Protein backbone atom coordinates (compact mmCIF):
# COMPACT_ATOMS: atom_id res chain seq x y z
CA UNK A 1 0.00 0.00 0.00
CA UNK A 2 1.43 3.38 -1.04
CA UNK A 3 1.41 6.35 1.28
CA UNK A 4 -1.04 9.11 0.38
CA UNK A 5 0.72 12.20 -0.91
CA UNK A 6 0.30 15.15 1.42
CA UNK A 7 -1.26 18.13 -0.41
CA UNK A 8 -1.77 21.79 0.30
CA UNK A 9 -5.38 20.92 1.18
CA UNK A 10 -4.12 18.76 4.04
CA UNK A 11 -1.99 21.62 5.36
CA UNK A 12 -4.97 23.97 5.16
CA UNK A 13 -7.18 21.52 7.05
CA UNK A 14 -4.55 20.87 9.72
CA UNK A 15 -3.91 24.58 10.31
CA UNK A 16 -7.56 25.63 10.08
CA UNK A 17 -7.07 28.24 7.33
CA UNK A 18 -7.89 28.46 3.65
CA UNK A 19 -5.86 26.88 0.84
CA UNK A 20 -5.20 30.39 -0.52
CA UNK A 21 -3.74 31.48 2.83
CA UNK A 22 -1.47 28.45 2.98
CA UNK A 23 -0.32 29.10 -0.60
CA UNK A 24 0.47 32.74 0.12
CA UNK A 25 2.43 31.97 3.29
CA UNK A 26 4.43 29.08 1.80
CA UNK A 27 5.32 31.24 -1.21
CA UNK A 28 6.88 33.92 0.95
CA UNK A 29 3.97 36.36 1.24
CA UNK A 30 3.60 35.90 5.01
CA UNK A 31 3.70 39.64 5.77
CA UNK A 32 0.00 39.83 4.86
CA UNK A 33 -0.96 37.58 7.79
CA UNK A 34 -0.70 37.61 11.55
CA UNK A 35 2.29 35.90 13.18
CA UNK A 36 -0.13 33.42 14.79
CA UNK A 37 -1.56 32.38 11.40
CA UNK A 38 1.91 32.02 9.88
CA UNK A 39 3.02 29.93 12.86
CA UNK A 40 0.01 27.59 12.51
CA UNK A 41 0.63 27.05 8.81
CA UNK A 42 4.35 26.37 9.24
CA UNK A 43 3.66 24.02 12.15
CA UNK A 44 1.15 22.08 10.04
CA UNK A 45 3.62 21.91 7.15
CA UNK A 46 6.29 20.48 9.44
CA UNK A 47 3.95 18.06 11.20
CA UNK A 48 2.69 16.65 7.91
CA UNK A 49 6.15 16.71 6.30
CA UNK A 50 4.62 18.57 3.35
CA UNK A 51 6.74 19.33 0.28
CA UNK A 52 5.30 21.56 -2.49
CA UNK A 53 4.77 19.94 -5.87
CA UNK A 54 7.35 21.64 -8.08
CA UNK A 55 5.41 21.33 -11.34
CA UNK A 56 2.07 22.36 -9.82
CA UNK A 57 3.74 25.35 -8.19
CA UNK A 58 5.33 26.32 -11.48
CA UNK A 59 1.95 26.20 -13.27
CA UNK A 60 0.37 28.42 -10.64
CA UNK A 61 3.20 30.92 -10.21
CA UNK A 62 4.40 30.86 -13.86
CA UNK A 63 7.94 30.71 -12.44
CA UNK A 64 10.43 27.87 -12.18
CA UNK A 65 12.94 29.66 -9.88
CA UNK A 66 15.72 28.34 -12.10
CA UNK A 67 18.29 30.19 -14.20
CA UNK A 68 20.07 28.58 -17.15
CA UNK A 69 23.80 29.35 -17.33
CA UNK A 70 25.62 28.49 -20.55
CA UNK A 71 29.44 28.40 -20.55
CA UNK A 72 31.84 27.20 -23.26
CA UNK A 73 34.33 25.24 -21.13
CA UNK A 74 33.85 24.37 -17.46
CA UNK A 75 37.41 22.97 -17.24
CA UNK A 76 38.76 26.52 -17.54
CA UNK A 77 39.11 27.82 -13.93
CA UNK A 78 37.91 31.22 -15.13
CA UNK A 79 34.42 29.84 -15.69
CA UNK A 80 34.47 27.86 -12.44
CA UNK A 81 35.03 31.06 -10.47
CA UNK A 82 32.54 32.97 -12.61
CA UNK A 83 29.84 30.39 -11.82
CA UNK A 84 30.59 30.63 -8.11
CA UNK A 85 29.82 34.35 -8.29
CA UNK A 86 26.61 33.71 -10.22
CA UNK A 87 25.47 30.84 -8.00
CA UNK A 88 26.08 32.77 -4.79
CA UNK A 89 23.64 35.51 -5.80
CA UNK A 90 21.05 33.11 -7.22
CA UNK A 91 21.13 30.91 -4.10
CA UNK A 92 20.65 33.95 -1.88
CA UNK A 93 17.52 34.82 -3.87
CA UNK A 94 16.22 31.20 -3.81
CA UNK A 95 16.97 30.47 -7.45
CA UNK A 96 18.56 27.23 -8.67
CA UNK A 97 21.45 27.40 -11.16
CA UNK A 98 21.09 25.05 -14.12
CA UNK A 99 24.57 24.78 -15.65
CA UNK A 100 25.17 23.81 -19.27
CA UNK A 101 28.76 23.15 -20.36
CA UNK A 102 29.03 23.37 -24.15
CA UNK A 103 32.60 22.01 -24.52
CA UNK A 104 33.34 24.71 -27.12
CA UNK A 105 30.79 23.01 -29.41
CA UNK A 106 28.55 25.55 -31.19
CA UNK A 107 25.83 22.97 -31.99
CA UNK A 108 25.76 21.85 -28.37
CA UNK A 109 25.39 25.46 -27.25
CA UNK A 110 22.36 26.02 -29.48
CA UNK A 111 20.81 22.68 -28.43
CA UNK A 112 21.21 23.67 -24.79
CA UNK A 113 19.63 27.05 -25.43
CA UNK A 114 16.56 25.40 -26.96
CA UNK A 115 16.36 22.78 -24.21
CA UNK A 116 16.51 25.39 -21.47
CA UNK A 117 13.65 27.18 -23.21
CA UNK A 118 11.56 23.99 -23.24
CA UNK A 119 12.23 23.50 -19.54
CA UNK A 120 10.87 26.94 -18.77
CA UNK A 121 13.78 28.52 -16.92
CA UNK A 122 13.12 32.06 -15.74
CA UNK A 123 16.22 33.60 -17.31
CA UNK A 124 19.45 32.90 -19.19
CA UNK A 125 23.07 33.82 -18.62
CA UNK A 126 25.08 33.39 -21.82
CA UNK A 127 28.86 33.38 -21.43
CA UNK A 128 29.64 32.13 -24.92
CA UNK A 129 30.14 33.93 -28.19
CA UNK A 130 29.35 30.93 -30.39
CA UNK A 131 25.61 31.46 -30.03
CA UNK A 132 24.67 33.78 -32.85
CA UNK A 133 22.45 36.78 -32.42
CA UNK A 134 20.04 35.05 -34.82
CA UNK A 135 19.78 32.03 -32.50
CA UNK A 136 19.18 34.33 -29.55
CA UNK A 137 16.53 36.24 -31.50
CA UNK A 138 14.70 33.06 -32.51
CA UNK A 139 14.91 31.26 -29.17
CA UNK A 140 14.81 34.01 -26.57
CA UNK A 141 13.76 37.40 -27.90
CA UNK A 142 10.87 36.01 -29.93
CA UNK A 143 9.47 34.50 -26.71
CA UNK A 144 10.30 37.61 -24.67
CA UNK A 145 12.52 35.60 -22.31
CA UNK A 146 14.94 37.47 -19.98
CA UNK A 147 18.63 36.92 -20.72
CA UNK A 148 22.01 38.55 -20.26
CA UNK A 149 25.31 38.16 -22.09
CA UNK A 150 28.77 38.51 -20.60
CA UNK A 151 32.50 38.08 -21.04
CA UNK A 152 32.82 36.74 -24.59
CA UNK A 153 29.78 38.33 -26.21
CA UNK A 154 28.62 41.94 -26.52
CA UNK A 155 24.93 42.71 -26.24
CA UNK A 156 24.85 45.03 -29.25
CA UNK A 157 21.87 46.86 -27.80
CA UNK A 158 19.43 43.97 -27.52
CA UNK A 159 20.00 42.79 -23.94
CA UNK A 160 21.67 43.65 -20.67
CA UNK A 161 25.39 42.90 -20.60
CA UNK A 162 28.31 42.79 -18.20
CA UNK A 163 31.78 43.23 -19.67
CA UNK A 164 35.32 43.81 -18.46
CA UNK A 165 37.65 46.43 -19.92
CA UNK A 166 39.53 44.21 -22.37
CA UNK A 167 41.01 47.12 -24.30
CA UNK A 168 42.68 48.52 -21.19
CA UNK A 169 43.79 45.02 -20.22
CA UNK A 170 45.62 44.52 -23.49
CA UNK A 171 47.15 47.97 -23.29
CA UNK A 172 48.40 47.37 -19.74
CA UNK A 173 50.14 44.18 -20.86
CA UNK A 174 51.82 46.05 -23.72
CA UNK A 175 52.88 48.97 -21.55
CA UNK A 176 54.50 46.66 -19.01
CA UNK A 177 56.50 44.72 -21.60
CA UNK A 178 57.57 48.04 -23.13
CA UNK A 179 58.58 49.35 -19.68
CA UNK A 180 60.76 46.26 -19.24
CA UNK A 181 62.59 47.06 -22.48
CA UNK A 182 61.07 44.45 -24.79
CA UNK A 183 60.75 45.40 -28.45
CA UNK A 184 60.07 42.10 -30.18
CA UNK A 185 56.93 40.59 -28.77
CA UNK A 186 54.31 37.96 -29.59
CA UNK A 187 50.64 37.49 -28.75
CA UNK A 188 49.34 33.93 -28.38
CA UNK A 189 45.63 33.65 -29.16
CA UNK A 190 43.17 31.46 -31.10
CA UNK A 191 42.22 32.03 -34.72
CA UNK A 192 38.81 33.62 -35.16
CA UNK A 193 39.11 35.15 -31.70
CA UNK A 194 35.99 36.13 -29.78
CA UNK A 195 35.22 39.83 -29.51
CA UNK A 196 36.63 40.23 -26.01
CA UNK A 197 39.91 38.60 -27.02
CA UNK A 198 40.11 40.67 -30.20
CA UNK A 199 39.65 43.78 -28.07
CA UNK A 200 42.61 42.78 -25.87
CA UNK A 201 44.71 42.50 -29.02
CA UNK A 202 43.63 45.98 -30.15
CA UNK A 203 44.72 47.43 -26.79
CA UNK A 204 48.07 45.64 -26.95
CA UNK A 205 48.67 46.90 -30.50
CA UNK A 206 48.29 50.47 -29.29
CA UNK A 207 51.67 49.92 -27.65
CA UNK A 208 53.19 47.42 -30.11
CA UNK A 209 51.85 47.96 -33.65
CA UNK A 210 54.32 45.39 -34.99
CA UNK A 211 53.90 42.02 -33.29
CA UNK A 212 54.17 38.31 -34.02
CA UNK A 213 50.83 36.52 -33.83
CA UNK A 214 50.96 32.90 -32.69
CA UNK A 215 47.63 31.18 -33.25
CA UNK A 216 46.79 28.28 -30.99
CA UNK A 217 43.87 26.60 -29.25
CA UNK A 218 42.65 28.45 -26.15
CA UNK A 219 43.91 25.88 -23.62
CA UNK A 220 46.99 24.68 -21.75
CA UNK A 221 47.68 22.23 -24.58
CA UNK A 222 47.39 25.12 -27.03
CA UNK A 223 50.03 27.06 -25.10
CA UNK A 224 52.31 24.05 -25.02
CA UNK A 225 52.06 23.73 -28.81
CA UNK A 226 52.59 27.48 -29.28
CA UNK A 227 55.95 27.25 -27.52
CA UNK A 228 57.32 25.28 -30.49
CA UNK A 229 56.52 28.20 -32.79
CA UNK A 230 57.85 30.82 -30.38
CA UNK A 231 61.36 29.35 -30.12
CA UNK A 232 61.67 29.66 -33.90
CA UNK A 233 61.39 33.48 -33.61
CA UNK A 234 63.58 36.18 -32.06
CA UNK A 235 60.91 37.55 -29.72
CA UNK A 236 61.60 38.13 -26.02
CA UNK A 237 58.19 39.06 -24.62
CA UNK A 238 54.95 37.09 -24.81
CA UNK A 239 51.37 38.16 -24.10
CA UNK A 240 49.25 35.02 -23.60
CA UNK A 241 45.66 36.02 -24.17
CA UNK A 242 44.55 34.01 -21.12
CA UNK A 243 46.22 32.29 -18.17
CA UNK A 244 45.49 28.78 -19.45
CA UNK A 245 47.61 29.50 -22.53
CA UNK A 246 50.35 30.92 -20.31
CA UNK A 247 50.48 27.74 -18.22
CA UNK A 248 50.85 25.71 -21.40
CA UNK A 249 53.70 27.98 -22.47
CA UNK A 250 55.48 27.26 -19.18
CA UNK A 251 55.58 23.54 -19.98
CA UNK A 252 56.30 23.93 -23.69
CA UNK A 253 59.19 26.31 -23.14
CA UNK A 254 60.63 24.13 -20.36
CA UNK A 255 60.52 21.14 -22.70
CA UNK A 256 62.54 23.19 -25.19
CA UNK A 257 65.14 24.00 -22.51
CA UNK A 258 64.00 27.61 -22.12
CA UNK A 259 63.42 29.49 -18.87
CA UNK A 260 60.91 32.12 -17.76
CA UNK A 261 61.71 34.99 -17.35
CA UNK A 262 65.40 34.56 -18.24
CA UNK A 263 64.69 33.65 -21.89
CA UNK A 264 61.11 34.87 -22.28
CA UNK A 265 58.93 37.24 -20.29
CA UNK A 266 55.32 36.02 -20.13
CA UNK A 267 52.15 37.93 -19.21
CA UNK A 268 48.82 36.16 -18.89
CA UNK A 269 45.22 37.33 -18.60
CA UNK A 270 42.45 36.57 -16.04
CA UNK A 271 44.36 36.07 -12.75
CA UNK A 272 42.93 32.65 -11.90
CA UNK A 273 44.07 31.05 -8.65
CA UNK A 274 46.83 28.92 -10.22
CA UNK A 275 48.82 32.05 -11.13
CA UNK A 276 50.25 32.06 -7.61
CA UNK A 277 51.03 28.33 -7.58
CA UNK A 278 53.24 28.06 -10.68
CA UNK A 279 56.96 28.84 -10.75
CA UNK A 280 57.67 31.61 -11.41
CA UNK A 281 54.37 33.09 -10.28
CA UNK A 282 52.54 34.48 -13.31
CA UNK A 283 52.32 38.19 -14.03
CA UNK A 284 48.85 38.72 -15.44
CA UNK A 285 45.96 41.07 -16.11
CA UNK A 286 43.40 40.50 -13.35
CA UNK A 287 39.72 40.42 -14.18
CA UNK A 288 37.26 40.67 -11.26
CA UNK A 289 35.91 37.21 -12.14
CA UNK A 290 33.79 36.59 -9.04
CA UNK A 291 32.36 40.11 -9.18
CA UNK A 292 31.62 39.59 -12.87
CA UNK A 293 29.45 36.60 -11.95
CA UNK A 294 27.73 38.43 -9.11
CA UNK A 295 26.95 41.51 -11.19
CA UNK A 296 25.60 39.38 -14.02
CA UNK A 297 23.23 37.47 -11.75
CA UNK A 298 22.03 40.63 -10.02
CA UNK A 299 21.35 42.37 -13.33
CA UNK A 300 19.41 39.38 -14.70
CA UNK A 301 17.23 39.12 -11.58
CA UNK A 302 16.52 42.83 -11.87
CA UNK A 303 15.49 42.28 -15.51
CA UNK A 304 13.12 39.48 -14.47
CA UNK A 305 11.50 41.79 -11.93
CA UNK A 306 11.39 44.80 -14.29
CA UNK A 307 11.09 43.42 -17.85
CA UNK A 308 10.34 46.83 -19.41
CA UNK A 309 13.30 48.78 -18.04
CA UNK A 310 16.00 50.16 -20.36
CA UNK A 311 18.91 47.90 -21.29
CA UNK A 312 21.96 48.18 -19.05
CA UNK A 313 25.60 47.53 -19.88
CA UNK A 314 28.12 47.35 -17.04
CA UNK A 315 31.87 47.63 -17.60
CA UNK A 316 34.19 46.30 -14.88
CA UNK A 317 37.80 47.43 -14.59
CA UNK A 318 40.95 45.29 -14.83
CA UNK A 319 44.44 45.70 -13.38
CA UNK A 320 47.99 44.51 -13.91
CA UNK A 321 49.25 42.11 -11.21
CA UNK A 322 53.05 42.06 -11.23
CA UNK A 323 54.66 38.81 -10.15
CA UNK A 324 57.82 37.09 -11.44
CA UNK A 325 57.25 35.81 -14.99
CA UNK A 326 58.25 39.07 -16.67
CA UNK A 327 61.67 40.68 -16.27
CA UNK A 328 63.63 43.62 -17.60
CA UNK A 329 65.43 42.83 -20.85
CA UNK A 330 69.20 42.88 -20.34
Q: Is the pLDDT of residue 177 over 90?
A: yes
> Which CATH architecture fits 166-288?
3-Layer(aba) Sandwich (3.40)
Q: Is the pLDDT of residue 155 over 80?
A: no
pLDDT value at residue 58: 54
Alpha helices in the chain (DSSP H): 8-15, 19-26, 35-48, 54-61, 77-92, 106-118, 133-139, 166-179, 195-205, 220-230, 243-255, 289-305
Weakest mean pLDDT among 47-56, 142-151, 238-247: 47-56
Residue boundaries of the structural domains of the chain: 8-61, 66-164+289-316, 166-288
Q: Is 106 exposed, middle or buried (0-12, 13-18, 19+ CB in 10 A)?
A: middle
pLDDT digits (tens, 9 = 90+) for 9-53: 888 888 898 988 888 888 777 788 898 998 998 998 888 888 766
pLDDT value at residue 104: 66
Does a cis peptide bond (omega within 30 degrees of 0) precede residue 309? Answer: no
Instruction: Answer yes or no: same fold for 66-164+289-316 and 166-288.
Output: yes
Weakest mean pLDDT among 1-5, 145-149, 248-252: 1-5
Q: Is the pLDDT of residue 57 over 80?
A: no
Does a cis peptide bond (omega within 30 degrees of 0) precede residue 201? Answer: no
CATH number of 66-164+289-316: 3.40.50.2300
Q: Is the pLDDT of residue 257 over 60?
A: yes
Weakest mean pLDDT among 105-109, 267-271, 312-316: 105-109
Mean pLDDT of 304-324: 92
The CATH superfamily assigned to 8-61 is lambda repressor-like DNA-binding domains (1.10.260.40)
Q: How far is CA 58 from CA 6, 48, 121, 202, 305, in A?
A: 18, 22, 10, 47, 17
Alpha helices in 206-288 (DSSP H): 220-230, 243-255
Distance from C-alpha of 261 to C-alpha of 303, rounded to nearest angstrom: 47
The confidence band for 300, taking pLDDT boundaries of 50, 70 and 90, is very high
pLDDT value at residue 1: 39
pLDDT value at residue 53: 61
Stated pTM of the model: 0.80
Amino acid sequence: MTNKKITIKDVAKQSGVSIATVSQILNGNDSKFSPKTVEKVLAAKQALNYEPDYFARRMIMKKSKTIGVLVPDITNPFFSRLIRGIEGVLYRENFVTLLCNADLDSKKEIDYLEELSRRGVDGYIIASSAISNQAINETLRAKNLPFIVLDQKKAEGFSDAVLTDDYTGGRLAGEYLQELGHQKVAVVLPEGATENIATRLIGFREIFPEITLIHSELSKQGGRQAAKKIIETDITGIFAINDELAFGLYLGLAEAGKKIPQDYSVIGYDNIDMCEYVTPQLTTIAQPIYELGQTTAELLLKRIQEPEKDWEERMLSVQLVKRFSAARLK
